[in-house]
Chains A and B, each alone.
Chain A
Amino acid sequence: DSGVTQTPKHLITATGQRVTLRCSPRSGDLSVYWYQQSLDQGLQFLIQYYNGEERAKGNILERFSAQQFPDLHSELNLSSLELGDSALYFCASSAQGFTGEQYFGPGTRLTVT
């Protein structure tokens, strides 16, 4: 158990809908990262937050957004969902923004029908 929690575990929704994925980092970790894992794309970095501020952006679509709250939990919002958005979404956390080690949560499996 990494100490990172994610909810929900599974999510099934229809195209065009909007969903919110939640992540709680390990106790004391200030950085949160979001990744998308699909069969044909592997693990893709989406976005990083550090102590409430956006720190880095990867291959995140404009339909996706995220934020980190004062209690350090983070939410990833996915809107106007398409079939291709079906994937595993992982959150990871690290103690600071620059130490390297990232610890992953169990993931949220999103299925768009």
Chain B
Amino acid sequence: GENVEQHPSTLSVQEGDSAVIKCTYSDSASNYFPWYKQELGKGPQLIIDIRSNVGEKKDQRIAVTLNKTAKHFSLHITETQPEDSAVYFCAAGGPKNTGNQFYFGTGTSLTVIP
């Protein structure tokens, strides 16, 4: 099955700096790569996603890049703010013959220092 690795496990940045979180996946059939933000005591919230026919996608301060050949994708947050502090999860998945399973990375705890 799919194996998703995520790095780093913890990340501290100064407010206003950029943060980058990287993930690799193993299954070349995966074609959908979402990123989730999870705040303490809440469920994961979808913040951005990318499909395998696209190399980069941007939404305001958040961007995701995908390198299908190398099987890795990254989340970029620019001009970080204290409210960006949370745990971020990457996932890989996509339509399979029998479902739409996601395989999640182990999470990155991001702390933005004011």
In the complex, whether B51 has a CB less than 8 A from a CB of chain A is yes
* A to B contact number (C-beta, < 8 Å): 68
* Residues of chain A within 8 A of B94, CB atoms compared: 100
* B72-109 interface bits toward A, Cβ cutoff 8 Å, 1 = contact, 0 = none: 00000000000000000101011110111111111100
Q: How far is the CA of A41 from the CA of B93 in the complex (A)?
A: 18
Query: Which A residues form the contact surface with B (CB < 8 A)?
Result: 2, 4, 31, 33, 42-45, 48, 50, 55-56, 58, 90, 94, 97-107
Choice from B91, B99, B106 contacting A56 with Cβ under 8 Å? B99
Pair B99/A97 contact, Cβ less than 8 Å? yes
Q: Among B43, B94, B101, find the residue whose CB has the most chain A CB atoms closer than 10 A.
A: B43
* Residues of chain A within 8 A of B89, CB atoms compared: 42-43
Known: A42-B107, A100-B49, A104-B36. A90 touches B100 (CB 8 A): no
* Residues of chain A within 8 A of B46, CB atoms compared: 101-104
Residue of A nearest to B102 (CB): A45
Pair A104/B43 contact, Cβ less than 8 Å? yes
Q: How far is the CA of A44 from the CA of B1 in the complex (A)?
A: 13
Q: How far is the CA of A4 from the CA of B46 in the complex (A)?
A: 13
Choice from A55, A90, A99, A105 contacting B99 with Cβ under 8 Å? A55
* Smallest CB separation, A5 vs chain B (Å): 11
